[in-house]
Chains A and B, each alone.
Chain A
Amino acid sequence: MNRKLLRTIALILPLPVIFFSLFTGASELVSSGDVWSLFFSPADKPADIVNTIVLNIRLPRILLVFLSGGVLAVSGSAMQAVFRNPLVDPYILGLSAGAAFGAALAMSVVIIPVQVSAFVFGLSAVGLSYLMALKNRQVSIISLILSGIITNGIFTALLTIVQFISDPFKLQSIVHWIMGNFQNASWQSFNLALLPALAGLSVLFLLRWKLNLLALGDVEARSAGANPVRIKIWVLIAATLASSAVVSVSGIIGLYGLIIPHLVRMLFGVNNKETLILNFMLGGSFLVLIDDISRSFRGFEIPIGVFTMLLCAPLFIWLLKKTNVGWQQ
């Protein structure tokens, strides 16, 4: 079976990707040989600087990038099932804009943890998009995208106000955060994101088969004796928790959660029971590879959020042209 082989490759891909990414970086102090000997000939003790750069700068960053990519892809595919729309992701429904506003608010005005604020506002934004699109207990695909645009607009406007009243020093950190940047990744930020991300992922993983049920439609789910509203709320909270956890340490990484699930569907079909884990593995691996490119530039670094947006936007347009399902509801 060709697909079985492909699946196995996708599942073990993270190992080589993470390992070889340790060799990539802007630092001139570390050569490939140094990294190699760090792992394979511990006898000739590597310099402290090599040790620090590889294990305390590169490794946590790579793991954080992997976690972020995986979480965005998994949350994206879960939301696509909830909204029965292959073209939504946390970004389109306003989660990122809401989370960005929440984070900026926490950074400049209110003294609450950035992550908590990002989560609360991220969830409110997704809820707002959903409620705006809700009419006669139904949500049409096109109105959901439109309400997402409005939500994005509202929170972007609010964000601008916060930026306007922030002092230049805080403003800089807000702008950096929004662009989506792993430059400040550390074990600390990885640990901060890990717990809520894993909590959200576990719930999604448990509910992965129920996503198929949601994807069929509300009446169909109800008829089969399920409570679609309850499952949707669980999925949305879990997906929002996980994505706002990574968004709050990495900034906004646009469209990524839309493209990867599409790629996975093209390769492995639509059965969420099988594809959720593949979304995590491929989503993580690809973002690490993209980050490798952005890390290889010496002197300056293109923020990864900018990078993925430029990369994914043409793909999104292509999908929009190609996908002709469900625009009438």
Chain B
Amino acid sequence: MAAIDNTLIKISDLSFSYGKGQEILSGTGCSIRENRFTVIMGKNGSGKSTLLRLTAGILPYRKGSIMIRGKELKSLKPEERAKYTGFLAQQHKAVFPFRVSEVVLTGRASYVKFLPGRSDELEAERAMDLLGISDMKDRIYSELSGGEQQLVMIARILAQNPSTLLLDEPISHLDYNNQLHTLKMIKHLVENRVTVVAVLHDPNMAYLFGDEFIYIHNKKAHEVHEKRAWEHPLVKQIFHDQLHTIEYNGKHLFIPQLS
């Protein structure tokens, strides 16, 4: 696929610190391309989640700018902003035993004045269909497996109908099969013209599924659009030079260098 420049989100000069603490991000910028799967990588505490939360409008930013389709994010009202970005937190803990369909429907909050209507229910059903979880809509969310819960929460932001899904470590708590399944579903969404940005840690999964990459290092974001993104010099920094690449069936695999 030709790399046409179809920037959806343009971040520039962004700085952020929690309270009066150290800056997590310092005057950085990057762009997110439409209908692509962008993977954010970086060490623990490097500011991946922070970047995602800022872009999601969950954290307010003072310095810098985040433009989505030519609009400054912080100038948007929450219910408008929700039409541009949907955010999936690292882990969600259910307190009450809601049904799956009830959970997904809450994604429609920005469209609902007081009570959701038929169109909201249809959107929720469409989202569940797209992720192939329609058959579990009457099941109790808190009784599902971690992988199933993750798909339900992704369906929830899909029902919100934002231009971009921002997923914070969507597979970190899942077993291997569920990691694969979730990533396949994300890929399926991207093929259906959804833009996805996700924080991933596993280089194999990242380079197997990702289209574009953003490396976060030293408080700065670096975007990489090249085909062989793992050859970027920052990769050595992020993985402390411990990553060994092998080729297998035309694919590149990554194994840790022991000793």
Distance A215 CA – B105 CA, assembled complex (angstroms): 13
Docked-complex contact B58 and A222, CB < 8 angstroms = yes
Distance A85 CA – B115 CA, assembled complex (angstroms): 23
Q: Beyond A212-B106, A216-B106, A217-B92, is A223–B98 a contact (Cβ under 8 Å)?
A: no
Docked-complex contact A209 and B115, CB < 8 angstroms = yes
| Interface residue A175 (Cβ < 8 Å from any Cβ of B) | no
Docked-complex contact A84 and B79, CB < 8 angstroms = no
| Interface residue B102 (Cβ < 8 Å from any Cβ of A) | yes
Docked-complex contact B57 and A271, CB < 8 angstroms = no
Q: Beyond A215-B98, A326-B95, is A223–B114 a contact (Cβ under 8 Å)?
A: no
Docked-complex contact B109 and A210, CB < 8 angstroms = yes
Write out the residue numbers on chain A whose beta carbons fall within 8 Å of the beta carbon of B99: 269, 271
Q: Contacting chain A: which of B8-16, B67-75, B82-90, B176-184?
A: B82-90
Contact of A226 among B78, B92, B142 (CB under 8 A): B78
Write out the residue numbers on chain A whose beta carbons fall within 8 Å of the beta carbon of B112: 209
| Interface residue B93 (Cβ < 8 Å from any Cβ of A) | yes
| Interface residue B172 (Cβ < 8 Å from any Cβ of A) | no
Report B85-141 residues with CB < 8 Å from chain A CB: 86-89, 92-99, 102-103, 105-110, 112, 114-116
Distance A271 CA – B97 CA, assembled complex (angstroms): 9
Report A249-289 residues with CB < 8 Å from chain B CB: 265, 269-271, 273
Write out the residue numbers on chain A whose beta carbons fall within 8 Å of the beta carbon of B96: 81, 84, 86, 215, 265, 270
Distance A173 CA – B49 CA, assembled complex (angstroms): 58
Contact of A270 among B97, B107, B108, B157 (CB under 8 A): B97
Write out the residue numbers on chain B whose beta carbons fall within 8 Å of the beta carbon of A304: none
Contact of B82 among A216, A219, A224, A326 (CB under 8 A): A224
Nearest CB in chain A to that of B116: its residue: A209
Distance A86 CA – B94 CA, assembled complex (angstroms): 12
Report A216-231 residues with CB < 8 Å from chain B CB: 216-217, 219-227
Docked-complex contact B82 and A223, CB < 8 angstroms = yes
Distance A310 CA – B250 CA, assembled complex (angstroms): 73
| Interface residue B206 (Cβ < 8 Å from any Cβ of A) | no
Distance A213 CA – B79 CA, assembled complex (angstroms): 14
Instruction: Identify which of B58, B81, B95, B110 gathers the most chain A CB atoms within 10 Å of its CB.
Output: B95
Distance A227 CA – B112 CA, assembled complex (angstroms): 13
Docked-complex contact B95 and A86, CB < 8 angstroms = yes
| Interface residue A43 (Cβ < 8 Å from any Cβ of B) | no
Write out the residue numbers on chain B whose beta carbons fall within 8 Å of the beta carbon of A213: 106, 109
| Interface residue B214 (Cβ < 8 Å from any Cβ of A) | no
Docked-complex contact A225 and B110, CB < 8 angstroms = yes
Docked-complex contact B79 and A225, CB < 8 angstroms = yes
Docked-complex contact A225 and B103, CB < 8 angstroms = no
| Interface residue A325 (Cβ < 8 Å from any Cβ of B) | yes
Report A193-237 residues with CB < 8 Å from chain B CB: 206-210, 212-213, 215-217, 219-227
Docked-complex contact A223 and B83, CB < 8 angstroms = no
Write out the residue numbers on chain A whose beta carbons fall within 8 Å of the beta carbon of B107: 224
Number of interface residues of A (CB under 8 A): 31
Contact of B114 among A206, A212, A216, A265 (CB under 8 A): A206
Docked-complex contact A219 and B116, CB < 8 angstroms = no
Distance A128 CA – B88 CA, assembled complex (angstroms): 31
Docked-complex contact B106 and A220, CB < 8 angstroms = yes
Docked-complex contact B160 and A270, CB < 8 angstroms = no
Distance A226 CA – B16 CA, assembled complex (angstroms): 23
Write out the residue numbers on chain B whose beta carbons fall within 8 Å of the beta carbon of A269: 97, 99
Q: Nearest-CB distance from A226 to chain B (Å)?
A: 4
Nearest CB in chain A to that of B88: its residue: A223
Nearest CB in chain A to that of B80: its residue: A225
| Interface residue B56 (Cβ < 8 Å from any Cβ of A) | yes
Q: Nearest-CB distance from A228 to chain B (Å)?
A: 10
Write out the residue numbers on chain A whose beta carbons fall within 8 Å of the beta carbon of B105: 212
Distance A213 CA – B86 CA, assembled complex (angstroms): 15
Contact of B92 among A85, A212, A220 (CB under 8 A): A220
Nearest CB in chain B to that of A221: its residue: B109
Docked-complex contact B106 and A270, CB < 8 angstroms = no
Docked-complex contact A326 and B93, CB < 8 angstroms = yes
Write out the residue numbers on chain A whose beta carbons fall within 8 Å of the beta carbon of B160: 223-225
Write out the residue numbers on chain B whose beta carbons fall within 8 Å of the beta carbon of A208: 115
Write out the residue numbers on chain B whose beta carbons fall within 8 Å of the beta carbon of A215: 95-96, 98
Nearest CB in chain A to that of B76: its residue: A225
Contact of B83 among A207, A221, A225, A265 (CB under 8 A): A225
Nearest CB in chain B to that of A225: its residue: B82
29 contacts between A and B (CB under 8 A): A84-B95, A84-B96, A85-B95, A209-B112, A209-B115, A210-B109, A210-B114, A212-B98, A212-B106, A216-B92, A216-B94, A217-B92, A219-B58, A219-B87, A220-B153, A220-B156, A223-B87, A223-B89, A224-B107, A224-B108, A224-B157, A225-B80, A226-B78, A226-B79, A226-B82, A226-B109, A269-B97, A270-B96, A326-B95
List 18 extra interface pairs beyond A212-B105, A219-B89, A225-B82, CB under 8 A. Answer: A85-B95, A208-B115, A220-B89, A223-B89, A224-B86, A224-B108, A224-B110, A224-B160, A225-B78, A225-B83, A226-B78, A226-B109, A265-B97, A270-B98, A270-B102, A271-B98, A271-B102, A325-B94
Q: Which residues of A contact B (CB under 8 A)?
A: 81, 84-86, 206-210, 212-213, 215-217, 219-227, 265, 269-271, 273, 325-326, 329
